[in-house]
Structure 1
Amino acid sequence: MKQNFTVRQGALDGVEVFLSVAQHRSFRKAAAELGVTPSAISQTVRVLEARLGAVLFIRTTRSVGLTEAGERFLARAKPAFEELVAASEIARGLGQRPSGLLRLSVPRAVIPILLEPLIVSFCRAYPEVEVELAASKEVIDLAAEGFDAAVRLGHLVAPDMVAVPLTPPFRLIVVGSPAYFAEHGRPEHTDDLRTHACLRWRRSNGALALWSFDDNGQAVEIAVSGPLIANDFSTMLGAATEGLGLAQLPEPLAIAGLKAGKLIHVLEAYAPVRPGVFLCYPGRRQIMPKLRAFIDHVKSRTSGDRKVQAPAEAKRAASRKKARGSA
């Protein structure tokens, strides 16, 4: 059976013309307001009346009045049409300037060290944008959950997403407190971890994460054991700082503790490098001004950081290569 692909006439067709005639009580003044001919106004009203099955206006040679049906239609149509116009203006505004609600899905651990300074400066630069941060360890469907973008580790960015780097590549490092090492000694090789208390991370899929290492270019994964299992890096960082055991963490999370002397880095020659942290968003749809503004803000704020940190990363890589060569 052949389908009918004819688009049905909309219920709003002719309503704006009706409202203009009703306001001015004149077809000619309505025509002037809308920039069309009086005959076009008359034809549109006739089509509307035919579709509704009721006469809306009483017409004489000197005046135009509303019938009872016209009065009732006006009472309901006018506020509804005004709401529609207001909604259109709001949508147009969101499409033309950075404003509205920007929803970001982010890992909890990156908020204090990475996002807080970015968000503060962005909110000050764009006061018409409200930012909502939803901290979650889950890799969610952005479109289905109503998010504009997400912050994710490089290996979790889907191929169909556009990714903007927030950090340079970083190392996964093993750290512990001075008190822990004073009591248990330091591991010199990855095999030594089997006799140490290691804090473990449970992934969102329920599996316990293995500890990953780079042994002369060879990727190595080790199953460790210890007194604590957590599902976020912040908890592991706090437990390691308190001396409960060793933790393998993204280096940016441990920087403050290392600088303060609360943590010590071990097995440095075996630290693997990860791609970094990225702001990612679907690439198949038009970018709203609020997200475009945030992307540009991120690029402007992080480009300088990458230039400063890149030489340091190169220096660390060189030292690791040298350490392996002398081993």
Structure 2
Amino acid sequence: MAIEDFNDVLAFVHVVREGSFTRAAAIIGVSASALSHAIRGLETRHGVRLLTRTTRSVSPTEAGERLFLSVATRFEDIDAELAAVRNLRDKPVGTIRITSAEHAANNILWPKLAKAMAAYPDISVEITVDYTMSDIVSQRYDAGVRLGNQVAKDMIAVRISPDQRIAVVGSPTYFSNHPVPVTPRELAQHDCINLRLPTHGGLLPWDFDKGGEEIKLRVTGRWVFNNSSSIVRAALEGHGLAFVPEDMVLDRIVTGDLVRVLDDWCAPYQGYYLYYPSRRQSSRALAVVVEALRHRE
């Protein structure tokens, strides 16, 4: 393969993956016009149109899709092998990209990695808060964080937290005007603060379990957020009841800023796991991150 073909095919892969000349150009470090010119040259040399361009989007043609599916994984393999070679140095080095939900990012990843990474100045960590269950391979993450029952069977999974529990909480101000619920069904009388799930746009159901009796509720209220931190803030200010992981509010419960209810209906559930594809095992930087996050009883 001529070197110009190699470079232009790599540029083409970036454009298809990003769906944009502008974003791909920023990654490669060239102008969008230069990138467009390079791909037009590739199309001209081989006499086939690879991309369909409009004013708003860019997408592969049938020929372009075939080329992308054939070569994209090969470039990823080259990147992986080069990363493996770099990791043969004496010190672990490189950037580890992790996708995680907000709760795990704030309450597990940050406290553990902030402390451990001080000993590894050549390792950088990029954490992306994402509720959409990203495909870490196609999105080029090194690892992801999910609850144990959400991890695909073909991934290596490492437990990074104990089992979790939900807490239902409200402020003393809220309860001065509302009765304390004794059973989950009494939540119908309350202003409940909902979490909207970006994965499919629905609201998170409130699940309860006591003595084998399971109840799943669709609660209602005046406030809906797409992150738990905002829900806790609203609850603290008396706007309703929050349904959040308990470690987000334990300190506030101790200080009396929040009052916990329905505690006996909130059963433990499986904790968080860090997961990654086996082909990343050779990364020494990832190995350091895994050991820093590993849950120890």
TM-score bin (small chain): 0.5 to 0.7
Letter in 2 for 1:113: N
Whether contact under 8 Å (1:154, 1:274) holds in the other structure is no
Structure 1: segments with no counterpart, 5+ residues: 1-7, 12-87, 307-327
Do structure 1's residue 181 and structure 2's residue 175 form an aligned pair? yes
CA distance in structure 1 between the aligned counterparts of 2:185 and 2:84, rounded to whole angstroms: 60
Aligned positions of 1:1-327 closer than 5 A: 92-96=85-89, 97-204=91-198, 205-283=200-278, 285-299=280-294, 302-303=295-296, 306=297
Aligned to 1:103, what secondary structure does the other structure show?
strand
Q: TM-score, structure 1 length as denominator?
A: 0.62
Letter in 2 for 1:132: E
**Would the alpha carbon gap of residues 236 and 155 (structure 1) be closer, same or farther in structure 2, given more than 3 Å must change?**
farther
User: Which has a greater percent of helix?
Assistant: 1
Deviations 1:61-101 (A, max 9, x none): xxxxxxxxxxxxxxxxxxxxxxxxxxx98752224541011
What is the aligned residue count?
Answer: 218
**Would the alpha carbon gap of residues 170 and 91 (structure 1) be closer, same or farther in structure 2, given more than 3 Å must change?**
closer
Aligned-pair distance for 1:229? 1.1
**Would the alpha carbon gap of residues 259 and 95 (structure 1) be closer, same or farther in structure 2, given more than 3 Å must change?**
farther
Whether contact under 8 Å (2:167, 2:243) holds in the other structure is yes
CA distance in structure 1 between the aligned counterparts of 2:191 and 2:97, rounded to whole angstroms: 39
Deviations 1:4-48 (A, max 9, x none): xxxx9x99xxxxxxxxxxxxxxxxxxxxxxxxxxxxxxxxxxxxx
Whether contact under 8 Å (1:212, 1:272) holds in the other structure is no
Letter in 2 for 1:164: V
**Would the alpha carbon gap of residues 182 and 90 (structure 1) be closer, same or farther in structure 2, given more than 3 Å must change?**
closer
CA distance in structure 2 between the aligned counterparts of 1:294 and 1:234, rounded to whole angstroms: 25
Structure 2: segments with no counterpart, 5+ residues: 4-80
Aligned to 2:281, what secondary structure does the other structure show?
coil
**Would the alpha carbon gap of residues 281 and 91 (structure 1) be closer, same or farther in structure 2, given more than 3 Å must change?**
closer
CA distance in structure 2 between the aligned counterparts of 1:270 and 1:288, rounded to whole angstroms: 43
Aligned-pair distance for 1:151? 1.7
Aligned-pair distance for 1:155? 3.0
**Greater radius of gyration (CA):** 1
Aligned-pair distance for 1:256? 2.2
Aligned-pair distance for 1:285? 4.8
Letter in 2 for 1:177: S
Deviations 1:262-306 (A, max 9, x none): 11110111113210122111235534111111111222xx41xx3
Aligned-pair distance for 1:176? 0.7
